[in-house]
C-alpha cells in the first residue's frame, strides 16, 4: 500500500510537470513568434526609412546640380560682359586720349598745362576702371550668395534605421521543468511511502503490545 500511494503521488507530480512543460513550450513558441513579427515589422519600417532617405538624397542632388549650374552660367555672363565692357572702355579711353592730345597740339597747348590735362584724363579713366572692377567683383559675390541660398534649401536630417532589440529570452525551460517535476515526484512519493511504512510499523508494534498485554487495563 505505501508503494501505491507513493507511486500515485509521483505519477501526479510527473503529470503536473508534463503540463507545466507543455505550457512552457507553448509560451516559448509564442515568444519566438512575437520576436519574429517584431523583426519583420522593423525591417519593413527600415525599408520605408531607406526609401525616404534616398528620395531626400536625390532631391538634394538636384538642388545642388541646379544651384551649381545656375552660378556657372551667371559667372560666365558676368565675366563675359565685364571683359567686353573693359575692352570697349579701354578702346574708348585710348581714342579719347588721342583726340585730347591732338586737340592740345592743334591749340599749341604744351608744357605743364598739357601734362595736367592728360594726367586728369588718365586718372579719370583709372577711377572708372576701378569702379567697373568693383562692380564686377560685387556681381560675382552676389552670384555666390545666390548659389549658397539655393544650396541652403537642401535637407540633411536623414532618419536613422531602427535597431532590433530582442526581448528577454528565457529559453526553453520545458526540460528543466520536467526534470524538476520528476525529481519532486520521486521525492514526494518516497517520503509518502516512508511515512506509510513508519505508520504501519508503529501500528504493528502497537497491536503486538496490546496482544501481549503490555498496553491497556
74-120 confidence digits (pLDDT tens): 999 999 988 888 777 777 777 777 776 676 677 676 667 767 777 77
pLDDT grade for 135, boundaries at 50, 70 and 90: very high
Task: Using CB atoms within 10 Å of the CB of residue 199, give its burial: 0 to 12 exposed, 13 to 18 middle, 19+ buried.
Answer: exposed
Q: Count H helices and E strands in the chain, helices first.
A: 3, 0
- 216 has a pLDDT exceeding 50: no
pLDDT grade for 215, boundaries at 50, 70 and 90: very low
Between CA 13 and CA 31 the distance in angstroms is 26
Mean pLDDT of 119-145: 87
pLDDT averaged over every residue in the chain: 75
pLDDT grade for 138, boundaries at 50, 70 and 90: very high
pLDDT digits (tens, 9 = 90+) for 166-212: 765 555 555 665 566 555 655 555 555 545 555 555 455 555 655 66
- 56 has a pLDDT exceeding 70: yes
Contacts with 175 (C-beta within 8 Å, 6 or more apart), sequence order = 21
| Predicted pLDDT of residue 88 | 75
Q: What sign does the CA torsion over 188, 177, 27, 23 have?
A: negative
Give 3 or 134, the one with higher predicted confidence. Answer: 134
Q: 21-60 burial by CB neighbour count: b if 16+ within 10 A, else e?
A: beebeeebeeeeeeeeeeeeeeeeebeeeeeeeeebeeeb
| Predicted pLDDT of residue 139 | 94
Every domain of the chain and the residues it spans = 2-165+177-211
For cell 519532486, name the residue: 184
Q: Which letter does DSSP use for residue 215 in this model? A: S
- 70 has a pLDDT exceeding 80: yes
The kind and range of the H/E element at 98 are: helix 2-106
pLDDT grade for 217, boundaries at 50, 70 and 90: very low
Contacts with 172 (C-beta within 8 Å, 6 or more apart), sequence order = 24, 25, 28
Q: Are 205 and 198 in contact (CB under 8 A)?
A: no
Predicted TM-score (pTM) of this structure: 0.55
Amino acid at each position: 500500500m505505501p508503494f501505491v500511494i507513493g507511486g500515485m503521488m509521483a505519477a501526479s507530480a510527473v503529470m503536473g510537470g508534463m503540463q507545466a512543460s507543455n505550457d512552457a513550450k507553448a509560451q516559448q513558441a509564442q515568444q519566438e513568434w512575437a520576436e519574429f513579427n517584431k523583426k519583420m515589422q522593423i525591417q519593413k519600417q527600415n525599408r520605408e526609412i531607406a526609401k525616404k532617405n534616398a528620395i531626400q538624397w536625390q532631391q538634394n542632388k538636384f538642388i545642388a546640380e541646379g544651384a551649381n549650374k545656375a552660378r556657372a552660367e551667371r559667372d560666365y555672363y558676368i565675366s563675359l560682359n565685364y571683359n567686353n565692357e573693359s575692352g570697349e572702355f579701354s578702346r574708348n579711353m585710348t581714342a579719347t586720349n588721342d583726340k585730347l592730345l591732338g586737340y592740345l597740339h592743334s591749340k599749341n597747348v604744351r608744357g605743364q598745362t598739357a601734362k595736367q590735362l592728360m594726367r586728369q584724363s588718365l586718372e579719370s579713366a583709372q577711377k572708372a576702371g576701378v569702379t567697373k572692377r568693383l562692380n564686377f567683383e560685387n556681381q560675382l559675390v552676389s552670384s555666390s550668395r545666390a548659389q549658397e541660398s539655393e544650396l541652403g534649401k537642401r535637407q540633411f536630417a536623414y532618419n536613422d534605421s531602427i535597431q532590433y532589440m530582442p526581448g528577454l529570452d528565457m529559453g526553453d525551460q520545458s526540460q528543466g521543468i520536467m526534470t524538476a517535476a520528476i525529481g519532486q515526484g520521486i521525492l514526494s512519493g518516497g517520503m509518502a511511502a516512508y511515512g506509510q511504512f513508519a505508520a504501519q510499523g508503529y501500528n504493528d508494534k502497537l497491536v503486538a503490545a496490546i496482544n501481549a498485554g503490555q498496553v491497556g487495563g
